[in-house]
Amino acid sequence: MVHLRTSLLCILCTFSASAGLCQQQPAPSQTTLTLTQAESIAIANQPLLLAAQLRSRASEQRIREARSGLFPTVAFNATGVDVADTGTSIASGAITTSSISNRFSYGGSLVQMVTDFGRTSAMVASQRSQSEAQKDIAVLTGAQIRLNLRHAYFQVMGAEAVLRAAREAQANRQLILKQVTALAQSQLRSTLDVNFAAVLESEAELAVVRAESVVEQERSHLASAMGASQPVTATLVEQAFPEALPPDASTFMAQALAQRADLKAAASRAEAASHLAAAEKRLSYPTLNAIGAAGQIPYHDHTLHDDYAAIGFNLNIPVLNGGLFAARRNEAELEARARTQETNEVTLEVKDQVREKWYQANEAWRSLDVSARLVAQSREALRLAQARYEAGLGSIVELNEAQLSETSAEITAASANYDYLTRRAELDYAAGLLN
* The pLDDT of residue 9: 43
Whole-model pTM: value is: 0.77
* The pLDDT of residue 260: 95
* The pLDDT of residue 341: 97
- 40 assigned to some structural domain: yes
- 80 assigned to some structural domain: yes
CATH number at residue 93: 1.20.1600.10
Taking alpha carbons only, the member of 287, 281, 285, 286 closest to residue 326 is: 281
pLDDT band at residue 40 using 50, 70 and 90 as cut-offs: very high
- 144 assigned to some structural domain: yes
* The pLDDT of residue 83: 55
- 25 assigned to some structural domain: no
- 27 assigned to some structural domain: no
Q: Quick check: 23 pLDDT over 50?
A: no
Residues 253-287: tens digit of each pLDDT: 999 999 999 999 999 999 999 999 999 999 999 99
* The pLDDT of residue 396: 78
Please state, in angstroms and rounded to a whole number, the distance separating the CA atoms of residues 27 and 423: 28
pLDDT band at residue 115 using 50, 70 and 90 as cut-offs: very high
Average pLDDT score over residue span 218-229:
91
pLDDT band at residue 237 using 50, 70 and 90 as cut-offs: very high
* The pLDDT of residue 101: 66
Domain boundaries, position 401: 2-13+33-430
Going by C-beta distance under 8 Å and a sequence separation of 6 or more, which residues neighbour residue 303? 86, 87, 88, 89, 101
- 19 assigned to some structural domain: no
H-only helix segments in 12-118: 35-45, 47-67
- 336 assigned to some structural domain: yes
Q: State the total domains in the chain.
A: 1
Q: Quick check: 252 pLDDT over 50?
A: yes
Q: Quick check: 16 pLDDT over 50?
A: no
| Phi, psi of 298, deg, nearest 5 | -65, -30
pLDDT band at residue 375 using 50, 70 and 90 as cut-offs: confident
- 23 assigned to some structural domain: no
